[in-house]
């Protein structure tokens, strides 16, 4: 399978990162919790569950690049350097902005401590998230996964793929039982949000991909499968609500894994490999983190100026503003972590 990737980089990955980040942004822009556009924006059925697509993609890359008995300390340092400076810089900027606008009541809450101690998923599970920080639950899940992953790599290499799929089944089976016991409970929401089954499904696929699995190669080169999976992803906003919630995250994770294989193909039907997509995809993490504050401030400015723009213009302005702010945050964190 060497024609599809090299040892360090998988073709089309940055393009997928950008696609998921922008899709999440498009879904957040019309949300009344973050903006006040009135009825200017139609509720467009954008693809669903892109946070869980990110989980599957992160798991895929972790499995693909995994080595047995990696240095735990160096692994933690690498992940902390990537995740935490932006995470804390964003929280600091949010606090400063909210104090500057005298919105302190919206940010200065006891739950802020959970964000500072890297437990944002707890606030999300309990419906007590702080609005400009609410989406940071995603980083809490990734931190939990990356804390566990070095332990996973201690498993014998030839048994890792089986161990990864076993973790998927056990996690999902427990969540499935909790769904029927009480789907409104905190513990069910916690298991759903943490999504270790989605992450380790990605790990499983990434390990097979690294090892040149013949089945994955056939999937990657099958154009009919590519067409079907792209249609399923792009139209998921239309039918996703009909998929029971207990399966929905896993469904998106499976689609994501197949999309990764398809974009890495030697003949992808949608080519996500070019210089612009690679550059923008490289700041996809920043796009995800800064987008809520960017939407809030753009909406505030929109209201203060009494604008009445068509929906496509609002989307375009928010996308451009988010890309600009993401680039600034990327440069700031790069400077801080030199």
Q: Could you list the pLDDT tens digit for every one of the 338 residues in the chain?
A: 333 444 568 999 999 999 999 999 999 999 999 998 977 888 889 999 999 999 999 999 999 988 766 788 999 999 999 999 999 999 999 999 999 999 999 999 999 999 999 999 999 999 999 999 999 999 999 999 999 999 999 898 889 999 999 999 999 999 999 999 999 999 999 999 999 999 999 999 999 999 999 999 999 999 999 999 999 999 999 999 899 999 999 999 999 999 999 999 988 999 999 999 999 999 999 999 999 999 999 999 999 999 989 999 999 999 999 999 999 999 999 998 87
Helix (H) or strand (E) holding 12, with range, is: none
Report pLDDT for 6. Answer: 47
User: Phi and psi of 5, rounded to 5°?
Assistant: -165, 165
Q: What is the pLDDT of residues 73-97, one digit of tens each?
A: 999 999 999 999 999 999 999 999 9
Q: CA-to-CA distance for 59 and 87, rounded, in angstroms?
A: 20
SS (H, E, C) 213-256: CHHHHHHHHCHHHHHHHHHHHHCHHHHHHHCCHHHHHHHHHHHH
Counting every residue, how long is the chain? 338
Q: CA-to-CA distance for 253 and 71, rounded, in angstroms?
A: 28
pTM, two decimals, is: 0.93
Q: What is the pLDDT of residues 148-182, one digit of tens each?
A: 999 999 898 889 999 999 999 999 999 999 999 99
Is residue 17 within 8 A of residue 279, CB to CB? The reply is: no
Is residue 119 within 8 A of residue 107, CB to CB? The reply is: no
Residue 43 burial by CB count (10 A; 0-12/13-18/19+): exposed, middle or buried?
A: exposed
| Side-chain half-sphere CA neighbours of 119 within 13 A | 11
What count of other Cβ atoms lies within 10 Å of the Cβ of residue 236? 23
Tell me the C-alpha to C-alpha distance, in Å, between residue 234 and each of 46, 209, 288.
Answer: 7, 24, 19
Tell me the C-alpha to C-alpha distance, in Å, between residue 213 and each of 130, 161, 209, 282.
Answer: 44, 11, 6, 27
The one-character DSSP state at 41 is: S
Nearest Cα to Cα of residue 19 among 262, 314, 296, 198 = 262
């Amino acid at each position: 399978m060497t024609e599809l990737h090299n040892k360090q980089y998988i073709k089309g990955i940055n393009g997928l990162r950008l696609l998921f980040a922008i899709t999440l942004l498009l879904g957040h822009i019309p949300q009344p919790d973050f903006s006040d556009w009135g009825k200017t924006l139609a509720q467009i059925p954008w693809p669903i569950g892109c946070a869980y697509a990110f989980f599957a993609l992160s798991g895929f890359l972790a499995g693909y690049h995994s080595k047995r008995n990696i240095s735990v300390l160096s692994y933690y340092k690498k992940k902390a350097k990537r995740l935490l400076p932006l995470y804390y810089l964003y929280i600091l900027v949010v606090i400063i902005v909210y104090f500057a606008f005298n919105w302190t009541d919206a940010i200065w809450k006891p739950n802020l401590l959970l964000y500072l101690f890297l437990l944002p998923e707890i606030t999300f599970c309990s419906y007590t998230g702080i609005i400009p920080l609410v989406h940071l639950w995603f980083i809490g899940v990734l931190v939990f996964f990356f804390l566990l992953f070095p332990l996973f790599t201690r498993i014998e290499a030839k048994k890792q793929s089986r161990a990864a799929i076993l973790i998927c089944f056990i996690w999902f089976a427990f969540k499935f039982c909790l769904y029927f016991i009480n789907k409104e409970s905190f513990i069910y929401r916690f298991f759903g949000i943490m999504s270790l089954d989605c992450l380790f499904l990605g790990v499983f696929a990434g390990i097979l991909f690294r090892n040149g699995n013949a089945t994955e190669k056939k999937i990657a080169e099958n154009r009919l499968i590519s067409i079907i999976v792209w249609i399923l992803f792009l139209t998921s906003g239309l039918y996703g609500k009909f998929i029971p919630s207990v399966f929905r995250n896993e469904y998106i994770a499976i689609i994501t894994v197949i999309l990764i294989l398809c974009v890495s193909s030697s003949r992808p039907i949608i080519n996500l490999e070019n210089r612009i997509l690679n550059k923008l995809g490289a700041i996809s993490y920043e796009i995800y983190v800064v987008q809520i504050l960017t939407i809030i401030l753009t909406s505030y400015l929109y209201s203060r100026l009494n604008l009445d723009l068509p929906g496509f213009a609002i989307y375009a302005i928010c996308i451009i503003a988010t890309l600009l702010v993401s680039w600034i945050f990327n440069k700031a964190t790069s400077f801080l972590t030199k």
